[in-house]
Structure 1
C-alpha cells in the first residue's frame, strides 16, 4: 500500500524563528501533562487580567502558516497519510472511532492561521484528538484542542473556569452548543460541542483564538476521511500483557526546519510506556546527573526522569519514557526489540511505516 501525502497538518512554511523546538518536550506524555496544567494556570491568569509568560522553547512565526490538505499536486508534507479507502472517517465508520490506536477518523482542510505546532492521534482512553498551537504576541499562547469519541466526550478540564454564557451553534449544518468560559465575567475560552455524525460527539476548546476563528477551525475539520499514524521505528517486543494503546504524531517548527515526531503508547491498562521517535529530535545531553550506560553506551538510563535514551538506532534518536508500573526493565525490553524499517527515512515522514508493531 503506497503513501499519499494528501493528509497534512503543515503545508506552507514561512517562518522566522526566535527559539528552538524540543519536540520531546512538546510531545512526550509526562511533559504534555505538565504543559496542560501550565496552560490551565496560564488561562486562569489571563482571564484574571494578569500577564502570561510565553513558551520559550517553541518558534514564534512572523507570518501565517497554512495547515491542512492541498491534494496530491501540492508540496510534500511532514505528516503522511496512507491512501486506504477501507479506513474511512467518522462519517463512514462511526462505530470505529477510538477503537484502533493507529487510525484517526478525521482530517483537516487548509487554514490560513499561524500554526506553529500541531499534534493529533488516538489516546489510550479511546479519545481521538488534535492539538493546535498558534503564534501570537510574545506574551500570549493561543491553543485549540479537539476531542472526538463514540457516544459522549467527557467534559474537558476547565481548570476552574466558569461558564459565562451558553448558546446554540451550528457546525457543518449540524446543531451544537457554544459555551463561553472565563473568570470574573471576562471570557477568552470557547467550548464548542456538536455531533458530526450520529453516535459520535466532538468537542473543540479554544483558548484566546476568538469565536470567528474557532468556528472556522471546527468547520475545517473533515470527518469523511481518516489519517493513519506512522513511525520510523517499529516496536517488536512488548511487556507481558501489554498492547499498543495510543499513537500521536505531529510537526513543529524550529528555525527553518520542520520536525515530525511520533509517540507510541504501550500498556496493559494499569501501566504505560511511551516510545518517542522522529527526525532529528532535540538531543538529550549527557549532563548531570550522568546517565547509567546501557548496552555498551549505545543507550543511557536517566533514573530521575525514568527514561531510557537510545542515542543511535540506525540513525534514529529515541526516548522511552516509563510511567508508574513500568521501569527500567520494561524500557530495556522494548528498546531491545526496536527496529528501523529499511525504507524509513527519519527526514521523510512520508516513508514511515504504518505497521507500528512489527
Structure 2
C-alpha cells in the first residue's frame, strides 16, 4: 500500500531517530529498490495492461505499479485476516496486548479496496485500506492518548475543523474534518466499550456518510495477524511485540509484505520484514552467517538476506541500545518461511 521509496526512506529515518543520520543506508536502499522495481515492472508490462497504483504513506510497503491481464482480481475477502477463536467480547486489556490478534472486523470497508495493511501490538490495533475509489484507516486503542499520538497517514490540507458530537451506533462520539479536494477527510472517534477508544479516518462527502461507515465496524469477533514466516531463535527475554501484514486482491500480489517486531523488557526492539523478491535478486547474498542463510550488511544497522521467494531485512536500530549484530544474525537464523504464500490461513 505504500510507495516503495517513500516508505523505505521513512523506515530508515525512523530507525535512525534520536541519533546522527547516516545517509549510507538511505542511498543504498533507494538504489536497491529502484533496481528491483525496474526489473519487476519490465516483466509485468510485457503483454500486460498497465494500471498505476496510488501511493499510501504509513508503515511500509512495496506495491507493484502495474497489473497484467493475466493477474485476476481476488474477492474482497482476500484482504481479511484468518478468523481467531473468540467469545464475541472485546476486552480493553487485550487490545494491542497480543501481537497475534486483532479484535475487530471491518468488512464494510473492503468492498472496493485493493490493498489492506493490518497491524497489532503495543496497545494499538489498526487496518488501512486503499483502492481506486477510496482510502480509510481504522484504529482501536486502549487509551485516547494513543490515538492522539498517531501519525496521520491520509493526505489533507492540515486544517482540521471544529469537533461536533455524533452517535456511532448506540455510543456517543465526536467527528471533525479536514478539507481535501472535492471530498473531506473525516475523523470519527468514539468509545465502542468503556476504557476502549476507536477512530475511523475516511474520505467522505458528508459527516453522516463517515459516521455511518464507522457504525458498521464490528467488535464481536477476532482475527489472527499472520505473516508467512516464523522466528524461532529469539534472544533471552525476547518476545513478539508487534505484527503487521499487507495483503492484496491481485492473485500475483496476494502477499505484499509482513513484519514482526521483537523486543524485551529493557525497551530494545528489532524489526524483521519480508517481502517478495524478484527472481533474479541474488545480489544480496553476503559473507555473514545467519543460521542456514547467508546475510550481508546494508549500512550500519540493517542486515539483509534472500530466502526464496522473499527478501528479508532485520532493522537493528530501535529504542534503547538496540540489538547487536550478533543478536540480529541469530534472530535471522531462526527465520522459517511458510510453504504457501498464497494461503494466509496456513501461516
The corresponding residue for 1:41 is none
Q: What residue is the counterpart of 2:218 in the other structure?
A: 222
Structure 2 residue corresponding to 1:318, chosen from 305, 312, 316 = 312
SS in 1 for 2:260: strand
Specify which structure has the higher proportion of helix: 2
Measure how far apart 1:225 and its partner are. 0.7
Q: 2:175–2:189: 8 Å Cα contact kept in structure 1?
A: yes
How big is each residue's C-alpha offset from its partner over 1:17-71, in whole Å with a ceiling of 9 and x where there is no partner? xxx988898699816969xxxxxxxxxxxxxxxxxx9539555799998645xxx
Check conservation: 1:310, 1:318, Cα contact below 8 A: yes
The answer to whether the 8 A contact 1:113-1:134 is kept is no
Gaps of 5+ in 2: 16-52, 57-62
Alignment match, 1:151: 143
Aligned to 2:345: 350
| Counterpart for residue 55 of structure 1 | 55
2:209, 2:5 → 1: CA distance?
A: 28
TM-score normalised by length of structure 1: 0.66
Cα gap change, 1:132 to 1:28, in 2 (>3 Å): farther
SS at match of 2:240: strand
Alignment counterpart, residue 97 of structure 2, candidates 96, 99, 116: 99
Q: Provide, for residues 279-300 of structure 1, a one-character-per-residue CA deviation record: whole Å limited to 9, x for no partner.
A: x45579466xx76433399433
1:133 is matched with 130
Aligned pair in 2 of structure 1 residues 340, 58: CA closer, same or farther (>3 Å)? closer
Q: CA deviation at 1:256?
A: 4.9
1:311 Cα deviation from its structure 2 partner: 1.6
Q: Find the residue that maps to 1:334 and give its secondary structure.
A: helix
Residue among 266, 270, 277 paired with 2:267: 270
- Asked if the contact 2:245/2:258 (under 8 Å) is kept, the reply is yes
Q: Cα RMSD between the aligned structures? A: 4.1
Distance 1:112 1:262, change over 3 A: closer
Instruction: Name the residue aligned to 2:112.
Output: 114
Q: Secondary structure at the match of 2:96?
A: coil
Instruction: Give 1:332 shift.
Output: 0.5
- 2:74–2:251 contact (8 Å) kept in structure 1: no
Q: Which secondary structure state, in structure 2, belongs to the residue aligned with residue 188 of structure 1?
A: strand
Are the aligned partners of 1:163 and 1:180 in contact in 2 as well (CA < 8 Å)?
Answer: yes
Match of 2:304 in 1: 309
Query: In 1, Cα distance between the equivalents of 2:268 and 2:110?
Result: 40
User: Gaps (5+ residues) in structure 1?
Assistant: 1-19, 35-52, 69-76, 137-141, 353-358
Q: Distance in 2 between matches of 1:204 and 1:143?
A: 11
Which among 232, 237, 241 is matched to residue 245 of structure 1? 241
The answer on 1:331 being equivalent to 2:328 is: yes
Structure 1 residue 233 and structure 2 residue 234: aligned?
Answer: no
Higher relative contact order (CA 8 A, sep 6+): 1
- How far is 1:254 from its partner? 5.6
Number of residue pairs aligned between Structure 1 and Structure 2:
290
Match of 1:30 in 2: 11
